[in-house]
Amino acid sequence: MFATVCWIAALPDYLDATNGFTAAGERTGSLPFAVILTVVTIALTIGA
């Protein structure tokens, strides 16, 4: 859940990034990986 909140907060910078770097010069993370990880985490939590 915490990672989801962090990604939502960072989404504007992620969308404005060029070649994987934000305007501040920092690398972006992998949005597809974050989405897949969140879905798997929810599925495992519900299945437990």
Q: Give the SS3 label for residue 20.
A: coil
CB 17 within 8 A of CB 48: no
Cα separation, 28 vs 6, in Å, equals 12
Q: Report pTM.
A: 0.66
Q: Give the SS3 label for residue 10.
A: helix
pLDDT in tens, 26-44: 999 888 988 898 899 999 9
pLDDT at 46: 94
pLDDT at 29: 87
Please count the other Cβ atoms lying within 10 Å of the Cβ belonging to residue 19. Answer: 6
